[in-house]
Structure 1
Amino acid sequence: MASSSLLPSSLLLFLSLLSLLPLSLSQQTQTSSEAQTLLQIKHDWGNPDVLASWTNSNASSYCNWTGVGCSDGAVTSLVLFSSNITGSVPSSICQLKSLSTLDLYNNNITGSFPRFLLNCTNLQYLDLSYNMFIGELPSDINLVLPNITFLSLSQNNFTGKIPTSIGTMTQLQSLLLDNNLFIGTMPSFISKLTNLQQLALAWNSFTPGPIPEEYGTLTNLTYLFIAAAHLEGKIPDSFANLTQLVQFDLSINSLQGTIPPGIWSFSNLKYLYLYKNNLSGEITINNPFGAHSLVAIDLTKNQLTGPIPESFGTLQNLSILFLSYNKLSGQIPEGIGLLPKLTDVRLFYNNLTGILPPELGKHSPLWNLEVFNNMLSGEIPADICYNGAFTSLGVSNNNMTGSIPQSLGNCSHLDSLQVDNNHFTGDVPAGVWKMQNVTIILMSNNVLSGHLPSRLPWNLSRLEIVNNQFSGSIPSSSSNILVFKAGGNKFTGDIPSSLSTGMPLLQTLDLSENRISGEIPASIGSLGSLSVLNLSHNKISGEIPASIGSMAVLTSLDLSSNELSGEIPSAFGNVKFNFLNLSSNDLSGKIPSGIDISAYDESFLSNPGLCSSASLNGISRCRAGANNGISHGLRSLFIALGVIILVIIVIFVLCVMRDYHRRKAASDPAMWKLTSFHRLDFTEDSIIRGMTKENLIGSGGAGQVYRVTLGTHTGDVVAVKKIYSKGKLSTKLDSEFDSEVKILGSIRHSNIVKLLCCISSPDSKLLVYEYMENSSLDKWLHDKRRVSMGPLEALTGSLDWPTRLQIAIGAARGLCYMHHECAPPVVHRDVKSSNILLDSEFDAKIADFGLARMLMKIDEPETVSAVAGSFGYMAPECAFSRKVNEKVDVYSFGVVLLELTTGREAHDGGDYGSLVDWAWWNVQEGNTLYNCLAKEIRETPYLDEIEVVFKLGLICTGKVPSTRPTMKDVLDVLVRYDVLNQGPSGNKKLKEHDENPLLGNKNNDDSCNSLFCDV
């Protein structure tokens, strides 16, 4: 009985296990199918590194693979944003039948819109933004994506018109099509998508026209972004229905009329951007309490008139207030100073009067106040830095009075203090000169007084205190200062002899109109970056140091109205001064021949002892001396000539012997070793025979360069760089050679000069490159260098803008490859226009890797043994830190972009030092772009594109490395403005949003200034 009673239960257990078997097999089959599909996708994408976890060995855990999301074992999402994926979207993705989310944001994916997505029948979320898609969208996109609710195609290169079928995709909640190349009229059919919460159509090339009135029916919108879309006319009254908006951006269009008052009643509005339009009228807030959530107002660059409404002081959540570049008048409401969340106020370039709100900064975490170029009076609020967050004060060009508040001396985060051109008085708080974060101090044209410390803040880069009443001694140390202007004060004593070591980066020094005495220290000639030196109107005596004549980049020198004596150093004749004034001294002797020309006709007045051979204005002609003097002089000359001739004979004999041995060694094949990196159809003999004097096309610090025509049937031409020393190759040159061979021999890219082979002998090393027919960018941009090189004919003509942009794109591609695709990454460290070579089609290639370094760990700076690079191109950190990363190349490339747009050389900043300083000064002063451009490209239909590249150059040259963009970001901007492929002024513009490098957000960027941040 017992055994029979157990039988039913055992049988039941067996049947239960049997019933579970099909389910288990089904799950195992599904697991195998999904994993194999993912592995197929990985294969179709070329096995990118980001998918390294996708392997057969762990196929059972595919739901834990990178970017994979599952539900009940079925793959429902692929999220692979910012994964450096290249190629096109593989059709195998749609074998994942349950896939509902596909996020490929910010990769390098190419090709047309993937029409095969119609096979992804469950797809609801699709993000292909920030890639490189091209072509038109499918006209039946509603059938391709029947269930889609989120569609983002931003930042691509889609063209044509937006398909009308999108108007039938009523399930859409987000439609983001900004930053493409769409054309046609603004699509009114989008108004049918009544479930939309996000709509972005900005930065496209739509036909100029009005905003569709029908958009007022999109009452669920929280995000509206239609900046730079060629909008005209008025903002429709129907927009008063968009009460759910959080961000409302219609900036950079041609809208007219007044701002509809209904906007101010939007209770959820946080960000309002209407700058760069032609809107006019006064600002009116009918119901300020309805806008209680408003945190940011940007009405910059409109035509707004009248006062700032008092009701702005009731917007308790307001954090950002931008009203710059308008015609606002009246006083700033006191209530704004009481707002508890206020952080950033920019009201510059208006007609505002009255005083700043006295409570400003006391009740909020205010970090930036910029009100320059108004008619404000009164004092700087005493509690401006009350909460300790304040970093930037700009009140220049007003009528303000009083003293600099003592509280600013305790403002530890202050990095910019601009109070010039006012009526401030009294001593500057001592704490200002101790702040470690301050980079810019502009105080010129006030009545300020006090003493400067001997050691200025270490991070200070620009100090301008011209026309005040400062006294005491001149500071001797500030390790990062570039510009020091202190003319028109009461400084006394000598010029510090330690200035060359205490201020090694100094580019502009103005100590004119003070009471400085003593002699000019000879060490001043060691300031290798100094381009402007003004010591005029002092009591300086003694002779002019000869070392000044050897300063490599000095272009402006004013030593007038002093008590200098002796002769003008003969080395001055070798300096190409843009400005020279040695008048009103006690100089004597003959003016050196190089500056004894009419260009300096007014440079030597009131020096009775000087004489000229060129009949300069106010200077007597030099006369021959007595016969005895002439005879004595001739006798000395003959002796000197005899010694020189003897030395020349000895050197000649030695050279003949040396050349004999070299030729003997060169003719011996056993003495040369060839290492090839490509398939060659020539030998080392062909190269060596071609290295003749007639084929020499250039020489520099690291060797000579020859143009060698090979004796092959193709008649190929190569460039040969020869590195040679008298015996054993010097350690420095040997290191540069090994670096260049190591790097160029291992990388392949169409925008990096191709190293064909290297040839070594006991005392010579040769690098054989592909030959670049159009020489370097430097020789095309700067006329004075555009001369014949050996057998080449002189370069003629000038570069138009499309060609300049193509060169910039090519060079950027090469650097982008080095930084982002080489393993390990490569930092060039000597990017400059002379190292950008041009082939017969003006395609650019990066050359000269003698200073390049491999970065063994990504994002970790490498220590280098010495400061290396070229003046004007070197990033600031190269001078005080031996830790460098790829951002030094970004800085140098930014200088090249400024060269391309301005036509100036890197060291040509006039009174402002380098080109970078000159460009930043023009932006800070609000000067027009037209006057900054090279004359060859001023009259062009591409001014919008040129402006972007100019500003991109400024962004790349930010002082703080972390704030500079990556070369990938830079390349993306340049490609989107490729006028050669897109046509003038109809191409893609950039999205002015938080992540956009052109916005110039503060983000602790010391180089950021109000005018540029606002652009």
Structure 2
Amino acid sequence: MSKLTLITLTLLLFTLPFPGNSQPSINNPERTILLQIKNHFSNPSNLSHWTSSSDHCTWPEITCGDGSVTGIRLAYLNLNQTIPPSICDLKNLTILDLNHNLIPGPFPLALYNCSNLEILDLSFNSFNGSIPTDINRLSPRLTAFNLSSNYFTDGIPPAIGGLKQLKELQFAATFYNGSFPPEIGELVNLEVLTLYENPFAPQGIPSSFAQLKKLRNLWIQNSNLVGEIPENIIGNMTALEFLDLSGNSLSGNIPNNLFLLKNLTTVYLQVNKFSGPIPQSIEALDLNWIDFSNNTLTGKIPQDFGKLTKLEGLVLFMNQLSGEIPGSIGRLPALWDVRLFTNNLSGKIPGEFGKHSKLQTFDVSTNNLVGSLPEGLCDNKVLSSIIAFSNNLTGELPKSLGDCQTLESVRVEKNQLSGTIPDDLWAARSLSRFLISDNLFTGELPRKIASNVSLVDISNNRFSGEIPAGVSSWNNLVNFKASNNLFTGEIPQELTVLQRLSVLWLDGNHLSGNFPSEIISWKSLTSLKCSRNQLSGEIPSALGLLPNLNELDLSGNQFSGEIPPEIGRLRLTSLNLSSNHFSGRIPGALENAVFDKSFLNNPELCAATPSIGLRICNLNTKKSNSNSIRVIAILGSIAAALFLLAILYILFGLRKSRKGKQGLDPNWKLTPFHRLNFTESNILSNLVEDNVIGSGGSGEVYLVQPLHHTGEKVAVKRIWNCKKLDRKLEKEFEAEVQILGTIRHSNIVKLLCGISSEDSMLLVYEYMENRSLDLWLHPKRRPYFASPPYCQVLEWPTRLHIATGAAQGLCYMHHGSSPPIVHRDVKSSNVLLGSEFNAKIADFGLARMLIRPGEANTVSTLAGTFGYIAPEYAHTTKVNEKIDVYSFGVILLELVTGREPNDGSAELCLADWARQYVQEGKPIAEALDADIKKPQYSDEMQSVFKLGIFCTDTSPYRRPTMKEVLEILLKFKSQSPYAAGNINGSERDASPLLKHSGSEGSSESEDDEFKSIV
């Protein structure tokens, strides 16, 4: 060997890397390409370790095989540039994963040059435009293709069927319109197909899907499927394990061979239009979850469900199922979630429930069940809720519930249950809601109850004895309803120390003695009913100093003396002091026709004027003379007014003869949606300027009391134009009538009726005493005449109570209504508050129903309010539930920060400001509303702040559903002094509208982020 050759070999040995030597080659072309890619993406800080002096195969984002780059994973790096074509110069690249970034632009055609690509994940980015019609030009070796959560249009092209090696195809929340082609059925190797949350045009499941014999997971929920599921399609999917077709408009029978798929473990078919019976033959013995809720299924629950030893959840609520609950279901060892409410089930509840499994949720309410509740419901000590109201149950509550420390909610009202309540049940440490009204229970109240109890309703039973002095320890009590029982003795002074008490109903008992005088702690009290007792003495003047009291009923007692003038200072919506022994003159502020039935059967009472039907008080001569002068002045004014009216009448007649339409059309049509005790004339006569309480773009809103003797008040929205009605306003009127005319939910404002004429339309709603949320949060929005209570600060427990109620209304709209409803204008001014700060969603003029065959899911014009509008809606006008989730997230941020939706900074709205605030690493605690920030609420408020950011994510797919939002808020509220509440319009627990996973359609990384908020 020559000397030159030896030197050359030596140099090569020192320059080439040995196996295991991390020393990089000097001019590796692949590393050069990677560094160019890094520069193209503006040198992300997370890639600072990508340097020319390091071995690229050691970079954690890079995978190498035989010294060559085979995989690139650049997820969660906020990349916001297009994909560089040079990426396909890496000739051995098989994996390209760029998920969870902000990459813009159309689908990158340069990826056609990545000829060895096997896995392509571009999900959670900002790609737009149409998917190329020649998408089959991607690598023929492609096995996994994920484009979920982008902004494509026109659906999936038929060419997708050319990617024959695909095993996973994931296009969730990817499109604004379009459809999916039958050619997907040609992907015979497909194992995972994910198409959910896409507003496709209405279409059925293609018959070609029968070829997908290897398919394990099929997710197509909320994607506008219609028609029936053919038997031959399901029957051929022999490998199917997970099936989710929920939230569509599928109809017909559930395929009889569904449960013959032996590998099936999970099936979600809720919120469709399935009818007929549930399949009876079952061979899928590994099933762990069945959800057929919110359909119109009939027939019986299959006996063979008792063979499903792995079944964890049986969710069949809101159908028309009949017959008895199979006894074998109660013996299933894995069962923890049973929700069968709102059916026509009859017979006895199987006594085995709870004895053989760790039962947590048990809801059989609103059926025709008889017999007693199973004794062993809490044998395994994990039961959290027992809900069985509105049945025909008899017997006593199970004694075992007394040792059930995990129990949070007991709801057995409207049955025929009897016996006494075990003292240990009252004291169960987790108990927060205890509703047992309208039964035959007896016994006395305990001295002590669980510290978490916030809602107790024992009305219409046979409880007796005195209200114990130990009631002072019921610290978190918010609502206490004990109407129509047999309680005796006095109202204990100890009851008045409960600072969080909002509702106190003791009417219809045998209470006696004086009313407590020291009641200054009742600052939260809104409703007080003590009628039909034997209370005596004078009304304490301190009642008139309670800042939030708006309902007072002390009728049917033996009160005497004068009515304290302080009572006149209350902002009362309802007052009844009739059938007592009051005397003297009533407070001047109460001399109002609104209260004309409030003082009946008090013969010694008088008033200064005859306006409310009481006798005129005897005043001294001087006052009489003064009054005479005042009467003369009044009569003179009336005469002048009548003269003026005569002139106006003449002018009006002249204008009418010219066919002018400045007045109200006499040809009114009333369309009722509830039973009414008034007519259109009662409404029209009260549409005067003095009754205006608000105005908007479409017209004024009036506060009207149609019939004074009922005390009922209504809010009237008037949409009126001197010319023909603007088509936009007319469409809003039609939308509001169409949606609110059929909805029945306690967290959605009640539309009582519509009244229309040729050029004017009226919407008559229930009146919400505490008006809208924005008036309480933002002083600048209050009208000039606003006075207490609006000037008070809402404490955090009240704000959480409001947030939960609003979430329940939206959750019903999105997940409980068929078809789903998108509000499109969710904002704090459209969250109305009742007397107990129960929130109701209002103003449905812009709302849209989804999943309606033949109707597009986009709108021609942008609607909503700046600061609440989701970014994707602003530039695409796509309508889906996630735009409401974004708006609700803004409300959450308003509640925790006190800021207005446009009060982020000079450049940013509130949502953008909050996101940037967190990204800059600033402490969230400093962003919270200083007026309500207290140490005991800080963690909870910070979590809700995070939830607000999560809801206002720029990507709609990364936002949670309203089910998930509600679940989080209810977890917080379970520790709050307010009762959790009304999902189905009757204070139902959250569980009926929540899936087993709690994060429908979320990836594992999303779940982790979601759980971190909880």
TM-score, reference length from structure 1: 0.66
8 Å CA contact 1:890, 1:965 repeated in 2: no
* Partner amino acid, structure 2, of 1:876: P
Counterpart of 1:125?
Answer: 119
Partners of 1:44 and 1:453 in 2: CA distance: 72
Structure 2: any 5+ residue segments left out of the alignment? Answer: 627-692, 704-718, 736-771, 783-788, 812-822, 858-878, 896-936, 975-979, 981-988, 1001-1014
Counterpart of 1:491?
Answer: 487
One of 464, 478, 482 as aligned partner of 2:478: 482
Partners of 2:808 and 2:333 in 1: CA distance: 42
One of 126, 147, 157 as aligned partner of 1:163: 157
Deviation per CA, 1:824-858: give whole Å up to 9, x if none.
xxxxxxx96259999xxxxxxx999xxxxxxxxxx
One of 784, 797, 807 as aligned partner of 1:876: 797
Counterpart of 1:970?
Answer: 951
* Partner amino acid, structure 1, of 2:608: S
* Structure 1 pair 364–896 and aligned structure 2 pair: CA distance change class (3 A): closer
Partners of 2:24 and 2:90 in 1: CA distance: 16
* Partner amino acid, structure 1, of 2:187: L
Cα deviation for residue 217 of structure 1 reads 0.6
* Structure 1 pair 43–784 and aligned structure 2 pair: CA distance change class (3 A): farther
Q: State whether structure 2 residue 591 is matched by structure 1 residue 596.
A: yes
- Counterparts of 1:629-778 in structure 2, within 5 Å, are none
- Counterparts of 1:536-551 in structure 2, within 5 Å, are 536-551=531-546
* Structure 1 pair 572–888 and aligned structure 2 pair: CA distance change class (3 A): closer
Partners of 2:969 and 2:778 in 1: CA distance: 34
Q: State whether structure 2 residue 829 is matched by structure 1 residue 908.
A: no
Greater shift, 869-878 or 518-527, is seen at 869-878
SS at match of 2:304: helix
Greater shift, 293-302 or 869-878, is seen at 869-878
One of 133, 137, 150 as aligned partner of 1:143: 137
Counterpart of 2:246?
Answer: 251
Counterpart of 2:196?
Answer: 202
- Counterparts of 1:243-642 in structure 2, within 5 Å, are 243-286=238-281, 288=282, 290-471=283-464, 472-473=466-467, 475-499=471-495, 501-502=497-498, 504-616=499-611, 618-625=613-620
Partners of 1:783 and 1:872 in 2: CA distance: 27
Deviation per CA, 1:332-390: give whole Å up to 9, x if none.
00000111111111111111011111111111111111110000011111111111221
SS at match of 1:238: helix
SS at match of 2:459: coil
SS at match of 2:24: helix
Deviation per CA, 1:204-262: give whole Å up to 9, x if none.
22222321111011111111112222222221122200011111122222222212211
SS at match of 1:210: coil
Partners of 1:104 and 1:506 in 2: CA distance: 54
Partners of 2:834 and 2:555 in 1: CA distance: 22
Partners of 2:26 and 2:204 in 1: CA distance: 54
Deviation per CA, 1:456-498: give whole Å up to 9, x if none.
3222232211111223315223333332212122333443445
8 Å CA contact 1:425, 1:448 repeated in 2: yes
8 Å CA contact 2:591, 2:612 repeated in 1: no
* Structure 1 pair 998–890 and aligned structure 2 pair: CA distance change class (3 A): closer
8 Å CA contact 1:31, 1:60 repeated in 2: no
* Partner amino acid, structure 1, of 2:838: L
Deviation per CA, 1:632-682: give whole Å up to 9, x if none.
xxxxxxxxxxxxxxxxxxxxxxxxxxxxxxxxxxxxxxxxxxxxxxxxxxx
8 Å CA contact 1:495, 1:521 repeated in 2: yes
Counterpart of 1:833?
Answer: 774
TM-score, reference length from structure 2: 0.66
Cα deviation for residue 37 of structure 1 reads 5.3
Counterpart of 1:934?
Answer: 843
- Counterparts of 1:207-222 in structure 2, within 5 Å, are 207-222=201-216
The root-mean-square deviation of aligned C-alpha atoms, in Å, is 4.7
SS at match of 1:171: coil
Deviation per CA, 1:392-449: give whole Å up to 9, x if none.
1110100111111121121121111111111111111112222222222111111123
Deviation per CA, 1:119-150: give whole Å up to 9, x if none.
44443222333344332212222224554321
Aligned pair count? 764
* Structure 1 pair 437–837 and aligned structure 2 pair: CA distance change class (3 A): closer
Partners of 2:213 and 2:618 in 1: CA distance: 92
Counterpart of 2:177?
Answer: 183
- Higher relative contact order by CA 8 Å / sep ≥ 6: 1 or 2? 2
* Partner amino acid, structure 2, of 1:205: P
Cα deviation for residue 98 of structure 1 reads 4.5
Partners of 1:567 and 1:247 in 2: CA distance: 72
Partners of 1:166 and 1:991 in 2: CA distance: 29
* Partner amino acid, structure 1, of 2:833: D
8 Å CA contact 1:186, 1:211 repeated in 2: no
Counterpart of 1:153?
Answer: 147
* Partner amino acid, structure 2, of 1:413: T
SS at match of 1:135: strand
* Partner amino acid, structure 2, of 1:140: D
* Partner amino acid, structure 1, of 2:202: P
* Structure 1 pair 234–463 and aligned structure 2 pair: CA distance change class (3 A): same
Deviation per CA, 1:271-307: give whole Å up to 9, x if none.
1112222222222332x2x211111111112221111
Counterpart of 2:630?
Answer: none
8 Å CA contact 1:319, 1:343 repeated in 2: yes
Partners of 1:577 and 1:890 in 2: CA distance: 25
* Partner amino acid, structure 2, of 1:402: G
Identity of aligned residues (%): 35
Partners of 1:364 and 1:96 in 2: CA distance: 55
SS at match of 2:54: helix
Deviation per CA, 1:536-584: give whole Å up to 9, x if none.
2223333323333333332222121222223223233343322111112
8 Å CA contact 1:179, 1:204 repeated in 2: yes
Counterpart of 1:24?
Answer: 17
- Counterparts of 1:820-899 in structure 2, within 5 Å, are 833-834=774-775, 874-876=795-797
Partners of 2:240 and 2:959 in 1: CA distance: 23
Greater shift, 23-32 or 164-173, is seen at 23-32
8 Å CA contact 1:255, 1:277 repeated in 2: yes
Cα deviation for residue 964 of structure 1 reads 8.9
Partners of 2:613 and 2:181 in 1: CA distance: 74
